[in-house]
Amino acid sequence: MLDQYGRKIDYMRISVTERCNLRCRYCMPEAGIEKQGCKDMLSYEEILRLCRIFVGLGIRKIKITGGEPLVRVGVCGLIRKIKQIPGIEQVTLTTNGVLLAELAEDLIAAGIDGINISLDTVNEDKFKEITRHSGLKRVLAGIQCLLAKNYHNIKINCVPLAEINGDQIADIAAFAKDQPIAVRFIELMPVGCGTDYTAISQEQVRHILESTYGKLQPYDGQLGNGPAEYYVLPHFQGKIGFINAISHKFCNSCNRIRLTANGFLKLCLQYSLGVDLKSLLRSPMSDAALQKLIEKHIYEKPQEHHFHDESVAALRDVRKMFQVGG
């Protein structure tokens, strides 16, 4: 469907849990979170019901997120069932990769169309500093497991932080050198714990990459559903991407909405605007009535974010990144 600004909304990010097996500094408090009960989260049946309703509104692409989605039991079965819904063209996943080696075969069997792995360093000590946990070897084993199974629709997402991993940029990019992997550098969003850190700009990242590997050349092809700008480097099999939602705002082409693990339909990452679908799902409301209500809210999706504009401070969402699905 189209929103009030004529944007085609066809992509939804679905968080299946707020829980995570890491404690990344820019995402989650060190002590973790207050665990929600099962009744507070959408059941898989409720998620599937909503997917069928959203398909009727033009949603064609689904991203499964968290928290860490692979910690929720049965998530591969959910992916398989979403894939079977007529009208769904693509189901992808964002994961920290810790459980990837264990679940790679099940994910591939479920028909997952793409796997994004969040990884900010290839140094074990830095990994522990960023995530407050060990586990880098498990993440790397998960990537190798996918490649060994001839699965190549892999993207690595890195958030460059001045305080933590500025010296890791070239090493992260090296994943794209000998394998057809896309490495994307994602600008830090000023959400939750992320406000405590300093983003490294695209210009700085480009300088580091070009000083190490050579000139970045624009890539004109299409990779994925998001706003990343892709480049090629000499002798690299994979691509390098940049996603800069703050410094290079792309709200005019935003095609996404978000569904939180507790059933809130979120229309923009910055704002608290949206609707609690969980309570409506558990009411006598029909699918037709639900669809009509959802359509109204999507139509009213905000035109753009204003993270640094204090005049809209009252509308800012105070939830953390792990609570909104990224």
Identify the weakest region by mean pLDDT among 49-53, 58-62, 89-93, 271-275: 271-275
Sign of CA dihedral 276, 281, 286, 288: positive
Question: What was the pLDDT predicted at 81?
Answer: 98
Residues 220, 217: Cα–Cα separation, whole Å = 10
Over residues 53-80, the pLDDT tens digits come to 999 999 999 999 999 999 999 999 999 9
Strands 240-243 and 256-259: unpaired
The percent of residues above 70 in pLDDT, for the chain, comes to 87
- Residue 232's contacts (CB-CB under 8 Å, 6 or more residues apart) are 216, 217, 219, 239, 240
Determine if the peptide bond prior to 135 is cis (ω within 30°). no
Strands 229-232 and 217-218: antiparallel
320 has pLDDT over 70: no
Contact 61, 93 (CB under 8 A): no
Residues 198, 163: Cα–Cα separation, whole Å = 7
CB neighbourhood size of 106 (10 A): 15
Phi and psi at residue 315, to the nearest 5°: -95, -5
The percent of residues above 90 in pLDDT, for the chain, comes to 69
CATH superfamily of 11-324: Aldolase class I (3.20.20.70)
Contact 56, 85 (CB under 8 A): no
Question: What is the per-residue DSSP string for 144-171?
Answer: HHHHHTT---EEEEE--BTTTTGGGHHH
DSSP β-bridge partners for residue 118: 157
Q: Give the mean pLDDT of 125-151.
A: 94
For residue 11, the 8-state DSSP code is E
Q: Please calculate the CA angle 192-198-199 and round it to the nearest 5 degrees.
A: 95
- Strand order through the sheet with 274-276: 217-218, 229-232, 240-243, 182-186, 154-158, 114-118, 90-95, 61-65, 11-15, 256-259, 264-266, 274-276
Give residue 161's pLDDT band: very low, low, confident or very high (50, 70, 90): confident
Over residues 212-232, the pLDDT tens digits come to 999 999 998 877 767 789 999
Over residues 22-34, the pLDDT tens digits come to 988 777 777 766 7
Question: What was the pLDDT predicted at 325?
Answer: 61
Strands 90-95 and 114-118: parallel
Contact 258, 11 (CB under 8 A): no
DSSP β-bridge partners for residue 218: 231
- Residue ranges per structural domain of the chain: 11-324
Residue with tokens 């992997």: 181
203: left (phi over 0), alpha (psi -120 to 50) or beta: alpha
Looking at the chain, how many residues does it have?
326
Question: What was the pLDDT predicted at 11?
Answer: 96
